[in-house]
Amino acid sequence: MFITVAVIFIVLATFLLIMYNMYVDYVSRRESDLRMMVNQARNIISETEELLLNQSQIPFSKVLVLVLRHRILNALKKLKSDPHAKHIDEKIIEQQRLISEITRDYKEDLAFRPPENDAIAVSQLREIRRLRKIIYTEMRAGNPVDPVSCQKEDRRLQLLVLKVNISNLIQRTLDLKRMHQVGSCRQLVSKGLEVIKKSPIKDNWLDEKALTLTQILNDIDKEVKENNRREAEQNGMNEENKKELDELFGDKKKW
């Protein structure tokens, strides 16, 4: 009888120990998942607010601003599960107010501002890539902004990438032309025209830049022809001078 009770006690203790370990493991995993979710939400908020602060770099549409604001709002709602987070409800209300104001009063300024140098161009392209990635991520996550509008915004950003590249290419082309590096200049111009020609998305700005590149190419051809003409004339003059010198100082013919 005593042995039976002892066995039952050991089995029960073992079972309770297993259950306790399972519970501890569950709590540990839940806390780890919570920390991961909180850190991810904080990173999303920080990244998105940084993008919104850099609106001077590239033109932001109303759709894009709303996507970013809703992204912050969703991240704030996830932070409500963090017992250490402070003033989350107030931040959520503030974000909702901003979304309402943007929906009602936001005035778009989508005019393209060409980058002043290579560093700014690289920065703009990096930011556009981040924005396009966010749009796709938010569409999959069920962001309430209209999906059709998001797709149109992605095409606008795609066109913006092309504009930044073409603008930078034209600046480099003009620099090469001033340095009379005709071969490299012609190669860049041809590349720019080919890129514009193959682009499925175009607008008046790109049409104007295509004309600009074509004019640069025509100027290069004129410059090359003029240089060739001058060189031919110079070679002709040198040959004529050589003949005159030969006549003056060459061996005299014996009669």
* Residue 27: Cβ-neighbour burial (10 angstroms; 0-12, 13-18, 19+): exposed
CA distance 149 to 229: 57
Q: What is the average pLDDT across 61-77? A: 94
According to the model, what pLDDT value does residue 202 have? 83
Long-range contacts of 143-146 (CB under 8 A, 24+ apart): 143/67, 143/70, 143/71, 143/74, 144/70, 145/63, 145/66, 145/67, 145/70, 146/63
More confident residue, 242 or 5: 5
Q: What is the average pLDDT across 27-55? A: 84
According to the model, what pLDDT value does residue 74 have? 93
According to the model, what pLDDT value does residue 250 have? 54
Which two tokens mark 156? Answer: 């606008």
**Percentage of residues in the chain with pLDDT exceeding 90?**
44
180: left (phi over 0), alpha (psi -120 to 50) or beta: left
Long-range contacts of 217-226 (CB under 8 A, 24+ apart): 217/186, 217/189, 217/190, 217/193, 219/177, 220/177, 220/182, 220/185, 220/186, 220/189, 223/182, 224/182
Q: Is residue 241 scored above 70 in pLDDT?
A: no
Tell me the per-residue pLDDT of 87-133, one tens digit each, with 9 for 90 and over.
889 999 999 999 999 999 998 888 888 888 888 999 999 999 999 99
Q: Is residue 232 scored above 70 in pLDDT?
A: no
CA distance 161 to 158: 5
pTM listed for this prediction: 0.77
